[in-house]
């Protein structure tokens, strides 16, 4: 047995694999990433970032530039502390951009929809993480399937930027719920199987999945409440 890949945390001889250590670091970084996200969301309640940009298309360009630009920089620094710091900046920005949705939901019924969406998101996250540990998953095949799914969903998102159809928006939210849930399961299993060697990259993927899951559930709940 290669002892270089094993660490004794219990001090009584119980070995923990490198993959379990990486997964633990992923969960810790993921937990920390929601702190700046919450701060950003709170700040956005007082200063709506989209109110500063009057042009719709400029706002869209700014969002996508920030999202993909930050993802690129984080992945480029995925093995250093710089990557972790950039992840915190990214989550703060995403929280800031989510603030208008949270404010609208809170305006409807005082935050009950937000609480329900958060509870559902947490339940799905823990369920998919548990399934990832127990299920026998071909991560390579699932990765290909998710890539195709991402292309289909993003095509729908881009189309709806022009169409602005409520029905299509609701359908996309439903697809995002399913897609994001599968992404969580895939990424956790990918770490366990040794296919991922950066906890920063893994935390980024799971954060985006949870973010999309939560916002999609919230949009669906708003629509079902009859206020959308």
- Tens of pLDDT, residues 10-38: 444 456 789 999 999 999 999 999 999 99
Q: What is the DSSP code string of 94-142?
A: HHHHHHHHHHHHHHHHTTHHHHHHHHHHHHHHHHHHHHHHHS---HHHH
Mean pLDDT of 163-185: 96
| Number of separate domains in the chain | 1
Residue 103, CB-side half-sphere exposure with 13 Å CA sphere = 17
What per-residue confidence (pLDDT) applies to 5?
42
Does residue 69 form part of some domain? yes
Does residue 49 form part of some domain? yes
Mean pLDDT of the chain: 90
User: Higher pLDDT residue, 46 or 75?
Assistant: 75
Integer angstrom CA distances of residue 173 from 38, 53, 170, 206: 22, 25, 5, 17
What per-residue confidence (pLDDT) applies to 46?
84
Query: Is the pLDDT at 168 greater than 60, yes or no?
Result: yes
Q: Could you give the CA distance from residue 176 to residue 152 in angstroms, rounded to a whole number?
A: 11
What per-residue confidence (pLDDT) applies to 122?
97
Question: Which 3 state secondary structure label does DSSP give 6?
Answer: strand
Does residue 14 form part of some domain? no
For the ranges 46-60, 108-122, 158-172, the lowest mean pLDDT is seen at: 46-60
Residue 193 confidence class, pLDDT cut points 50, 70, 90:
very high
What per-residue confidence (pLDDT) applies to 227?
63
Mean pLDDT of 109-137: 93
Q: Could you give the CA distance from residue 182 to residue 29 in angstroms, rounded to a whole number?
A: 20
Does residue 2 form part of some domain? no
Does residue 207 form part of some domain? yes
What per-residue confidence (pLDDT) applies to 16?
77
User: Higher pLDDT residue, 228 or 191?
Assistant: 191
Does residue 105 form part of some domain? yes
What per-residue confidence (pLDDT) applies to 56?
85
Does residue 10 form part of some domain? no
What global pTM score does this model have? Answer: 0.90
Domain hosting residue 204, numbered range:
19-224
What per-residue confidence (pLDDT) applies to 32?
97
């Amino acid at each position: 047995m290669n002892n270089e890949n094993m660490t004794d945390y219990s001090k009584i001889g119980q070995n923990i694999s490198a993959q379990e250590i990486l997964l633990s670091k992923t969960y810790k970084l993921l937990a920390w990433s929601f702190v700046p996200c919450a701060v950003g969301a709170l700040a956005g309640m007082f200063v709506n970032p989209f109110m500063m940009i009057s042009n719709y298309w400029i706002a869209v360009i700014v969002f996508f530039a920030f999202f993909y630009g930050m993802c690129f920089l984080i992945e480029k620094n995925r093995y250093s502390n710089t990557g972790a710091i950039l992840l915190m900046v990214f989550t703060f920005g995403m929280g800031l951009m989510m603030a208008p949705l949270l404010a609208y939901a809170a305006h409807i019924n005082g935050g009950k929809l937000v609480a329900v969406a958060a509870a559902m998101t947490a339940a799905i996250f823990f369920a998919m993480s548990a399934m990832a540990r127990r299920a026998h998953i071909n991560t390579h095949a699932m990765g290909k399937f998710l890539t195709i799914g991402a292309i289909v969903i993003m095509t729908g998102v881009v189309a709806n930027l022009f169409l602005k159809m409520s029905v299509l928006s609701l359908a996309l939210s439903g697809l995002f719920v399913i897609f994001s849930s599968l992404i969580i399961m895939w990424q956790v299993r990918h770490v366990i199987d040794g296919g991922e060697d950066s906890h920063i990259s893994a935390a980024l993927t799971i954060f985006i999945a949870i973010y999309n899951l939560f916002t999609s559930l919230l949009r669906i709940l708003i629509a079902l409440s009859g206020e959308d």
